[in-house]
Amino acid sequence: MKTLITGIHAVESALKNDADNITQVWIAENKRNQRVKELINHAQKRGLIAHRSDPASLDKLAKTHQHQGVVAEYNAPKSFQEDDLFDILENIEGTPLLLVLDGVTDPHNLGACLRTAEGAGVHAVIAPKDNAVGLTPAARKVASGAAETVPFIQVTNLVRTIEKLKKEGIWFIGTSDKSSGDLYTYDFKTPSAIVMGAEGKGLRRLTEEHCDTLISIPMAGQVSSLNVSVATGVCLYEVVRQRQA
């Protein structure tokens, strides 16, 4: 499936991690700084010609002004399917760590979650197909290359997938302000899936009911909750801290 990647960092990451699937690169005529020159060199080394284009044409192509003068056409590999989860689990070295996003609809939040997941060593990110955002160009841009390296798997029935993964020994830890226990009292050294709710609404009722336990992030100020991508980072790096310790 052909899609677009926009932004200098996102295109740089795609050239580094998955250059074979980039088919074309466009650079705005007015972008001639050193970083752009290096990106053009990287593209040329991989047999790609960086076409110069006027900014207005790039705006129309990318359907946004937020492309930093760099756009690439990306032939996205076949997306992961639900059954691929079990192949991924079989090949994990060490303790599994999964991230579940229950209905995240903002592509910027999805991209930020993917970027954090890649940094924390998450083995796969799971999300429902309905009422949730997929890997849009905006999500890929914010992910800064993580969309090409972390398996992102959209499933038809999230609760059914949770139940299947429980049988594989995965413990599901949901984030909710209804929890009486906080993030820092839970032992994440077991095979774990962190379950994050949607922006504003939090976890759906059925998803919450199928979690093995619920945790909350302690809040010391007046604000009652964090943005989903920020909360994801807090939770995942507490897992990293515990497992490294």
Give the residue ranges of the annotated binding site for S-adenosyl-L-methionine.
197, 217, 226
- Integer Cα distance of 214 and 181 in angstroms: 7
Q: How far apart are the first and last CA of the chain?
A: 42
Residue with tokens 């580094």: 16
Residues 184-223 as b or e (16 or more Cβ within 10 Å = b):
eebebeebbbbbbbbeeebbbeebbebbeebbbbeeeeee
Taking Cα atoms as reference points, which of 123, 113, 67 lies closest to residue 93? 123
Residues annotated within a binding site: 197, 217, 226
Helix residue ranges, H only, the chain: 8-18, 34-45, 55-62, 84-90, 107-120, 137-143, 158-166, 205-209, 228-244
The strand pairing partners of 72, in sequence order, are: 5, 25
- Integer Cα distance of 50 and 153 in angstroms: 32
